[in-house]
Structure formats: C-alpha cells, structure tokens
Structure 1
Amino acid sequence: MHWPTRIPDRSQSLAVLVGAARYNGSSDDLTPLPQAAANVADLKRVLSGPTGLLEGSSVHTIVDPDDAVSVLTTLSAPGRGKLSLALFYFAGHGILDGEKQLCLALPNSIQDPKEAARTGIPVSAVFQTLKHVPAQHKLVILDCCYSGRALYDMSIGDAHVLAATGRTHKALTSGSERNTGFTGELLRILTEGLPDGPEFLDLHTLFRYLSVLLPTTSCPSDANADRRLPAPRHRMTDTTEGLALARNPAFGTGHSRSGLESRAVFAHRVAELGRTPPAGRLEHLAHAAALFGEIAADALTVLPATDDQALRYRRAHAALTGESGYAARAVAILDEITADLLAVSADCKAERLSIEHWSRRVPDPNTPGF
C-alpha cells in the first residue's frame, strides 16, 4: 500500500537554513568550511525554485551567525500562526559538550566540552524551540560531525531528523567540491531527480537513495585514498516520512535510454554496497539483482532484445542473480539471452562461458542435505 504524499502548504511553511563557514581558529578541528555557505544558498535555490515546494520568502538563510539567539529567534516564527512545515537545516562543524551531547558550532565556538554549549547551539535548544512552533510537520536536517547523536536527544519531540552521519562519525567533504558530501548528494537528487521515483521526492525516498549513494561515494584523503562518505541516519515520526520537499524533475523518464541508464548506475551502487566490507551483505546483492531485473524488463518494452544497452542490463541481472546465490536462475536468464542472440546470428560466446560458470554452482538435488 502506498500512503499519500504530503505536500507542504507553500504559504504556510518556514525554512531556516544555517551555515557556519567562517571559524575563528579556536581549535585546529574547527577549520573554515566555505562549503557550508554554498550549501545554504543552493538549498534555498532548490527548495524555492521551479521544482521546489516552498515560497522564497519563507526560506530564511543565516550564514555565520554570531550567536544562537538570532538563529533560534528566526526559527521560533512568532506571529506566523499554524504552519504546514517548519524546517531547520544546519551545515558546519559539530562539537560535543561535557555530557557528549551534540552542539552546532558557530564561528566563535570553542571546541571544549565546558564551552561547547555556551558558544554554540545545543541541538536540544533547536528541538526545544521547535516544540513551541505550531507546525504539522517538523523537520531537522543536520550536516555536521556526530549529527546522528541528535536522534537520541531527549528533547527531540515530534521532529523528523535526517542526519549526515552516525553518533561517532565525522561528516566528510572534499576541499575541491562546492558542497559538503552529504548536502551535495541531497542537492543532486533534488536537482536531477530520480527516473523511477515518485512525482514528489519525499523524505522516505530521499533517505533510501542517500543510504546507498553516500557510502558508495569516494571522498579520499591524504591518509585514506579509499575513504567513502559515511552512511546517513534518520528518525521518522508518524507519517512525516511521506513529506515531500520538491517535485521530481525526472518523473516519468524511467523507460527512456537516459532514465534506464540512470537507474542502472544506481543499481550498480547497490551492488557495490553489497560487496563492500564490513557493510557488505547478500541482501544488497539480491536487491541489486532485483533492480536489474526490473530495468531489463522495462528496457525490453522500448528496445530490441539484442540492443547493446538492453543486453548490458540483462547480463548484469544474470550475474547478480548468480552472485546472490541463485545460480540456476542465472543460467535460465542467460539461456534467454543466448536464444535471442542466436535468433539474429549474433555472437554468444560470453553467454556460453557464463552459463558454464554458473552451471558449476547449481546444487545437485541428489546431494544429501540439499
């Protein structure tokens, strides 16, 4: 069953986007983060642009605030009446106080457990402020280190939280990129859309894709050339996961050549996640196989069975099906491909080698314990 998407009322919504880009050198870890300012500008452009669902006048951007008061006052929305959506976004450094609670670092913050809450914005203060905001939906998006700690804050109330990292992980970014790693991927989805996605990009869909794209996105450092972005975390409340942030620019293009290819790229990322330790799981490979099965079936409705693009998807479906532990099914898929190739006198040597490979892995039903 598909629950209805919830579209915020444009005229009765509030978004407060905060970016801390300039840091005054109180700690070596609190280095300048120019991407935070770009995040705020780009997110406002998307949320209030042609595919966005918010009015530009309802999206407030605050870059390098001097203190917590100006931020929380803007968020409290005095005199606005009942809101459809209250959204708070922060990009910057995350620091911990003496109780290991998350604080959002501001330009003058001091990374000392005794000073973190006084010089930054305790995330609990954000949640406490939101408790007094009359809004049907409350959403907090945090792009900072240790942002996953917000999911366990005692003041969270009925806010839906989307966090860039887990409780103990740092948010990552590349100095050569315009945006931070997490927000960059979020913006890419909102801007480019999902060919096989719904008409509106809701929080459930966004998290589902981010949870694959982020941990399979390279973010190399001098110390670790194979470093990947951390997996995001989220906390759902009631039906807020169905809340949409934008229209899907690629809606209805899933059967086009470009749409099919975009879907295949994502399916390959799912497979990559399944092969990557320690998170690698057979269930991810099975999911990738299922995705390629759908892509191949859709390709065959618009492309010839032996079209190069269609063949790539069909072969990937077979390979991942076998890799998921279903060798006999992989052989059956390859048999179908072979028959189509033979019908047009095409070379099928690769398919025969693959059939031989997976046939050796088909369990013998006469083997005890099968």
Structure 2
Amino acid sequence: MNARLPERQASRALLIGSSRFSHEGLHDLPATVNNVRALADALTDPALGGLDPSGCRVLTDPTTPQQVGDAIDGVVNEALDTLLVYYSGHGMLNQRGELFLAVETTDPDPRRVHYFGVPMGWLRSALADSPARNRILILDCCFSGHATQAMSGTAPAVSGNLDIHGTYTLASAPAHETAVAPVGAQFTAFTGELLRTLRQGVPDGGELLTLGDIYPALTRALLASGMPRPQRLGTGMADHIALARNRAYRPATPSTVKPRTVSEPRGTTITPGVRSTNEQDPKVAAEFHAAMLDGYRRAKKELNYNAGNFIQMVQQVGGLEAARRLLRASSVSSGFTTLWEKGRLDLAVEAVVLQDRFAGLFSDEELDIARDRLAEYGYSPAQTS
C-alpha cells in the first residue's frame, strides 16, 4: 500500500483544546490552546499538503461534554476520506479505570467524573461509525494510553472489538502515567514535538510523512528528553496514512549514493547490484521462509506479540517475497516499530535478511535498506550463519 495525503475536500479534522477548568482539583493548561491553533495551521498549510481550512475545526475551552459531543457529530459524517480527532487537556479515570476527557466544568472525583467528563466511548463510537476510509485519534492528556486499550476492544469496560481498516490511535502517555505540560512552555511536551516533526520532517524518511514515520521520531525525541513514552495502536495499514509532506525528504541522486562494500556469503560470489544464484536454490529459499516463520513464533512466545498481518503476507506470497515487499516500503512496518519498542530488533525481518546465509538472496540495495534501518534505530546485527 502506497502512502498518500488525505483528500482535501473529503477530509475533516476536529481539534479540541481544554485550557480552563472551574473545579479546584484541576489546574489550568494554557498551552493546550496554543496546541490546537498551531496544529490547525500545520494541518492546513498548503506547503505540507494540508487539509482544507474549512474542514479543520477548532474547539477551545468547551464548558460541557455536550459541546464536545455536538462538535464530534458535526464532523464524523462529513469525512469520507480521512477523519482526525485531537484532544489536549486533562485526562482522568473513574473508579472502574475508564478514561474521561475534561471540559471546563468537569469534576475530577473518580466517583463523579462520568457525570461531567467526556467518555472515551464517545470518541470510539464516532470513529467506528464514521464513513471515512481512514480515522485518526490523537490524545494529549494524562492516562491517554487507556485509549489504545479502548480502541482495541480489550479494556474491561468495552464490549466488542473495533476492527476498522485504517484506524490509528496515538496517545501522549502510557495508561497509568501523566502527560507533561512544562510550566511556561508554549506547547505541551507531546504536541510540541509533534508540531516540530510535522514542520521539519523526518530525515531519511519518504516523500510523505506517515504515521509510521511520525511515531518512532516522536518516541525517540521524547524519551531523549525524559518524557513519557507515547503509545500507539493501528489497524489495517494505518501506519501508511500520511499527514503531510516530509520537509526533510531528499531524493537520492547518483552523487549522494554512497558505495558499500558487500561482505560475501560463504562460497558465493556476488556481483554488485545483481542477485546471487542462491535465489534459485530451493534449499536456501526454504530455509529463509522457515526463518521468517520462526521469527513470528518467537515474537508470539517470547513477547506475546501476534504479528497477524506479517504472517498472513508470508503465507500468501512466501517468506522471500514478503521480505522484499517490506524492504521496498517507504517506511518501517508497525511490526518493526513494535519489536523496536520491546528491544527485540533481532527478530526483525531486516536482521534475518542480513544473516550471512541469506544475504545472497537480496540485492545490494535491499541489503543497504535493511542495514540502514537497523542502524537508524540503534541496532547493529551480529553476523550469523
């Protein structure tokens, strides 16, 4: 699936910023208003690809949950291509551990918040019922990681599953951690980094800035600053949804391509840029296919990670073709990102590709892609046979 920008006229965004709160248990968050206004500017910037300004709606300082409900209702059915809903403010949990979003009159008492806060179920239902092909939910609030649980249908209070092709949830903090809004800062920590990524782009990324590009860049930058780790959940091929053009994109030219010295697999002669005869060796190809299946099984057993899309691709087209498709993709897969988060890039397809016994199955360019991706994420594979 190729990344593409949202269709301007058929896409909608609702950006909600709650900065003022009347209850003494909630402090004001002035940066949230800056968040939504700057994010609206970035999303509608024609130079970035942007949404049509008429389709990007900003709601600041709603006083009641009903105002938020009305605003959601005003965009969900209009979006036919891409729907983006963003909230920045206070997040709080009720006694059952369910997430609620604060408005000006919200009472944060866990016993009363469900009367005065915006329930996560409203946003879940809105995205589930929208006719939009792609749906994106971004939450910048405390405990926002609960949203990824709710959107996956695994939270105890949620009945049924949300299995919508092209739905992506991005949260600023884990389920049981608070988000960060530095005192006196123009933006909150999470949205400030999101804005920087949208405006400056991701070096070595593709021409379009996809959610699959944005999430790792956000995570690395925020962790380096001591901030909470963002959370994400994607269904279908949601990682390929693009929000903007990548300003840091530089197309490769002959003068910028660096020559690489290829280490030859044992007993094999490789002509640069040409596949070795190992590709024609059924035994080597079968061994690679088995290694791909073994990586899937190990991830499931050791990490409790079920890479459903990956194993389906391997079963449909074979391990070798599946690896080539993943290498040719403009950004890393959601599975690669998950393995990176868990510190197990040794199980990534790129690490298997670079094993000595399989290197002859791939072109120099494909080997370069695998090596560069792993290096970008701080992993140096050991040469194994």
Q: Which bracket does the TM-score occupy, shorter chain normalised?
A: 0.5 to 0.7
- TM-score, normalised with respect to structure 2: 0.62
* Other-structure match for 2:62: 65
Q: CA offset at residue 117 of structure 1?
A: 1.7
Whether 1:184 and 2:192 are equivalent positions in the alignment is: yes
Shift of 1:131: 2.4
Q: 1:202 aligns to what?
A: 210
**Does the CA contact (< 8 Å) of 2:4 and 2:208 recur in 1?**
no
Distance 2:197 2:251 in 1: 15
**Matches of 1:10 and 1:209, distance apart in 2:** 25
CA displacement at 1:193 relative to structure 2: 1.1
Which has the higher Rg, Structure 1 or Structure 2? 1
Q: Which has the higher contact order (CA 8 A, sep 6+)?
A: 2
Task: Output aligned runs, 1:163-242, within 5 Å.
Answer: 163-217=171-225, 228-242=226-240
Q: Check conservation: 1:26, 1:109, Cα contact below 8 A.
A: no
CA distance in 2 between counterparts of 1:251 and 1:10 reads: 22
The answer for unaligned runs of 5 or more in structure 1 is: 218-227, 256-278, 288-316, 330-370
1:54-113 per-position Cα deviation (integer Å, ceiling 9, x unaligned) = 011100000110112222222223795561011110000110112110000111111111
| Match status 1:40 vs 2:48 | no
Aligned to 2:131: 134
Are the structure 2 counterparts of residues 77 and 134 from structure 1 closer, same or farther at C-alpha, using a change threshold of 3 Å?
farther
For 1:245, the equivalent position in structure 2 comes to 243
Counterpart of 1:160 in structure 2: which amino acid? Y
How many Å apart are 1:42 and its aligned residue?
Answer: 0.4
Runs of 4+ more than 6 Å apart:
none
Distance between the aligned counterparts of 2:130 and 2:117, measured in 1?
A: 21
SS of structure 2 residue aligned to 1:204: helix
CA contact (8 A) 1:95 1:102 kept: yes
2:113 corresponds to 1:116: yes
Which residue type is aligned with residue 126 of structure 2?
Answer: T
Determine the structure 2 residue equivalent to 1:54: 51
- The answer to whether the 8 Å contact 1:195/1:254 transfers is no
CA contact 2:207–2:246 (8 Å) conserved in 1: yes
Partner of 2:282: none
2:195 and 2:217 mapped to 1: Cα distance? 12
Residue 102 (structure 1) aligned with residue 110 (structure 2): no
**Secondary structure class of the residue paired with 2:232:** strand
Query: 35-44 vs 126-135, which deviates more?
Result: 126-135
| Cα displacement (A) at 1:149 | 0.5
Structure 2 CA distance, aligned partners of 1:39 and 1:33? 10
* 1:1-370 correspondence runs (5 A): 3-27=1-25, 30-49=26-45, 50-77=47-74, 81=78, 83-153=80-150, 154=158, 157=162, 158=164, 159-217=167-225, 228-252=226-250
* Secondary structure of the corresponding residue to residue 134 of structure 2: strand
* Corresponding residue of 1:293: none
Count of residue pairs brought into register by the alignment: 264
Cα distance, 1:254–1:37 mapped onto 2, change above 3 Å: farther
Q: Distance in 2 between matches of 1:61 and 1:82?
A: 16
**Secondary structure at 1:10's aligned position in 2?**
coil
Q: What SS does the aligned partner of 2:145 have?
A: helix
Retained in 1: the 8 A contact 2:65–2:118?
yes
Structure 1 residues 173 and 79: CA distance shift in structure 2, 3 A: closer
Q: CA deviation at 1:145?
A: 0.5
TM normalised by structure 1 equals 0.64
CA, structure 1 residues 193+25, in 2 after alignment: closer, same or farther (shift >3 Å)? Answer: same
Letter in 1 for 2:174: G
Gaps of 5+ in 2: 151-157, 254-340, 351-374
Q: In the aligned structure 2, how far is the partner of 1:10 from the partner of 1:174?
A: 34
Task: Give yes or no for contact 2:82–2:133 (8 Å, CA) kept in 1.
Answer: yes
Q: What one-letter code is carried by the residue in structure 2 that aligns with 1:41?
A: R
CA shift digits 1:325-352 (9 cap, x unpaired): 97xx9xxxxxxxxxxxxxxxxxxxxxxx
Q: Alpha carbons of 1:83 and 1:77: their partners in 2 closer, same or farther (altered >3 Å)?
A: farther
RMSD of aligned alpha carbons:
3.3
Deviations 1:162-213 (A, max 9, x none): 0011111110121132110110111001001123111111111111211211
Q: Which amino acid aligns with 2:230?
A: P
Residue type at the aligned position of 1:83: L
Distance of 1:79 and 1:142 partners within structure 2: 17
- Contact map agreement 2:91 2:144 (CA 8 A) in 1: yes
